[in-house]
Structure 1
Amino acid sequence: MTATSAFFDRLAAACQDPRFSKVCGSVRFDIGDGDDLEQWLLVIDHGHMKVTRSAAPADTVIRVSVPVADAMARGEVNGLAAITRGEILVDGDLGLALRLGRLFPRASGSGDQTEQPTSSSTP
Structure 2
Amino acid sequence: MSATSAFFERLAATDHDPRFDKVRGSVRFDIRDGDQVQRWLLAIDHGRLRVTRDDGPAGTVIRVSAQVAESMALGQMNGLAAITRGEILVDGDLALALRVGRLFPSQTEVRRGAAAEPTSGTG
* TM-score after normalising by structure 1: 0.85
* Structure 1 residue 34: Cα displacement: 2.8
Where does residue 74 of structure 1 map in the other structure?
74
The separation in 2 between residues aligned to 1:107 and 1:62, in whole angstroms, is 21
**Equivalence for 1:83:** 83
Which residue in 2 is equivalent to 1:39? 39
Q: Percent identity?
A: 70
| Higher RCO structure, 1 or 2 (CA under 8 Å, sep 6+) | 2
Alignment gaps of 5+ in structure 2: 109-123
Larger Rg: 1
1:65 aligned partner = 65
2 CA distance for matches of 1:102 and 1:68?
A: 15
CA drift of 1:41 comes to 0.2
TM-score, length of structure 2 as denominator length: 0.85
In the TM superposition, what whole-angstrom CA distance separates every residue of 1:68-94 from its partner, at most 9, and x where no partner exists? 001100100000000000000000000
Instruction: Identify the residue that residue 17 of structure 2 maps to in structure 1.
Output: 17
Q: Structure 1: give runs of 5+ residues left out of the alignment.
A: 109-123
CA contact (8 A) 1:61 1:90 kept: yes
Does the residue aligned with 1:6 lie in a helix, a strand or coil? helix
CA distance in structure 2 between the aligned counterparts of 1:2 and 1:35, rounded to whole angstroms: 18
Which residue in the other structure is 1:30 paired with? 30
Q: CA deviation at 1:97?
A: 0.1
Query: What are the Cα deviations for residues 8-57 of structure 1, in whole angstroms up to 9, with x where unaligned?
Result: 00001012100000000000000013310000000000000000001100
Q: Does residue 1:49 correspond to 2:87, yes or no? A: no
Rounded Cα–Cα distance in structure 2 between residues aligned with 1:102 and 1:47: 14
Per-residue CA deviation, residues 95-120 of structure 1 (Å, 9 max, x unaligned), is: 00000121010135xxxxxxxxxxxx
Q: Matched residues in 2 for 1:101 and 1:90: separation?
A: 12
* Corresponding pairs, count: 108
- 8 Å CA contact retained: 1:72, 1:107: no
- Code of the residue aligned with 2:58 in structure 1: it is A
RMSD: 0.8
